[in-house]
Amino acid sequence: SGQLAEHEAVRKGIGLFDLSHMGEFRLRGPGALAAAEKIVTNRVLGTDPGQVVYSPMCYPHGGIVDDLLIYHLEDSVLLVVNASNIEKDLAWVKENLPQDVSLENESYETSLLAVQGPRVEEMLQQMTEVPLSDLGYYRTCPAKVGGLDLLLSRTGYTGEDGFELYVKDAEAPDLWNRLMEVGKSYDITPIGLAARDTLRFEMGYCLYGNDIDETTNPLEANLGWTVKIKKEDFVGRDALVKQKEDGVSRKLVGLEVTEGRMIPRQGYTIEAGGSPVGKVTSGTFAPSLGKGYALGYVDSAFSKVDTELNIQIRNKAVPAAVRRAPFYKDGTRKSK
């Protein structure tokens, strides 16, 4: 199936993703949660077991090492990191762990499948005894799904309701086949990475390596809500406190192409009155909206919603306006 059909399948029905390239690190020991608290900007101490937390992990200068999910489990803490950052993150986390916490890299024996879309709860409920309507957004629990033991969470990167399933590598093909089988009557569709990118993009979710990296900090990237300055101590805190006091000189904004059908791409220049004020970090045709959109950093003075700017696309100044993410507003993901 083509990328547009796959995109639509997730917005209207159910899509199945193989995300096994993602990385998983397991922290164990009495200080595991406190150790996670120290290396990420968001708050994980004080959460209940079964809670999942999204957070950037920063360098001392405030730049972003990676953005990740932290799973607070009964017996351990699971960090789920971006595939391209596994080795770098592993070294960084190790360097910042106290003596009483052990780290296991489970990336290469763990597979991750995701089911996403408005009809997903009804379908998955046929495969598990866990009452899915009771599993809130960003909550996790061990579960048997299709007879296989796995870790289930109500999380995703699409803006739709959805679940992510962490399973032993050896059992992943079985799980995939069982999901496809039960999903048949729901027109379940396997989804490739191209559609995964347009889905996340319509929600304005950051992609590491495009929209955030070691040269950007969470305050510039609209991730200020994940930076808990009141936490006494975490890596990058001093730099972020100072940045917060000084104010940021640039901001990550959403941009809608307001005339024509041209598509902004990474690296294109954003202009105001003929002068460059920023650069596009992600850009694409947004299938659910029928037009081109971009994410990019602009000088803070030009970051207000509805500000009119231009994007240089193939030697043409194409009109665009600042828009608040998510661009796609009809997603079915739970709010709690």
**What does the pLDDT look like over 258-310, one tens digit per residue?**
999 999 999 999 999 999 999 999 999 999 999 999 999 999 999 999 999 99
Is pLDDT at 24 greater than 80 in this prediction?
A: yes
Q: What is the pTM assigned to this prediction?
A: 0.96
**What does the pLDDT look like over 115-160, one tens digit per residue?**
999 999 999 999 999 999 999 999 999 999 999 999 999 999 999 9
Burial class (CB in 10 A: 0-12, 13-18, 19+), 51: middle
CATH 3.30.1360.120 corresponds to the domain 3-199? yes
pLDDT at 241: 97
Is pLDDT at 335 greater than 80 in this prediction?
A: no
Q: Cβ distance 83 to 21 under 8 Å?
A: yes
Averaged over 75-103, what is the pLDDT?
98
Averaged over 34-53, what is the pLDDT?
98
**What does the pLDDT look like over 6-18, one tens digit per residue?**
999 999 999 999 9
How many CB atoms are located within 10 Å of the residue 125 CB? 14
User: Among residues of the chain, what percentage have pLDDT more than 90?
Assistant: 99
Average pLDDT, the chain: 97
pLDDT at 1: 67
Is 220 annotated as a binding-site member?
Answer: no
Averaged over 99-126, what is the pLDDT?
98
CA distance 188 to 123: 9
Q: Evaluate whether 3-199 and 249-336 have a shared fold.
A: no
Is pLDDT at 54 greater than 70 in this prediction?
A: yes
Give the domain ranges of the chain: 3-199, 249-336
Which three-class secondary structure string do you get for the chain? CCHHHHHHHHHHCCEEEECCCCEEEEEECCCHHHHHHHHECCCCCCCCCCEEEEEEEECCCCCEEEEEEEEECCCCEEEEECHHHHHHHHHHHHHCCCCCCEEEECCCCEEEEEEECCCHHHHHHCCCCCCHHHCCCCEEEEEEECCEEEEEECCCCCCCCEEEEEEEHHHHHHHHHHHHHHHHHHCCEEECHHHHHHHHHHCCCCCECCCECCCCCCCCCCCHHHCCCCCCCCCCHHHHHHHHHHCCCEEEEEEEECCCCCCCCCCCEEEECCEEEEEEEEEEEECCCCEEEEEEEEEHHHCCCCCEEEEEECCEEEEEEEECCCCCCCCCCCCC
Query: In the numeric block, which tokens belong to residue 184?
Result: 């048949």
pLDDT at 334: 82
- Cα–Cα nearest to 256, from 286, 277, 211: 286
Burial class (CB in 10 A: 0-12, 13-18, 19+), 231: middle
Query: In the numeric block, which tokens belong to residue 88?
Result: 């770098």
Scan for tokens 């489970």, then name that residue.
106
pLDDT band at 227; cut points 50, 70, 90? very high
Structurally, at CATH architecture level, domain 249-336 sits in: Beta Barrel (2.40)
Averaged over 81-110, what is the pLDDT?
98
**What does the pLDDT look like over 231-261, one tens digit per residue?**
989 999 999 999 999 999 999 999 999 999 9
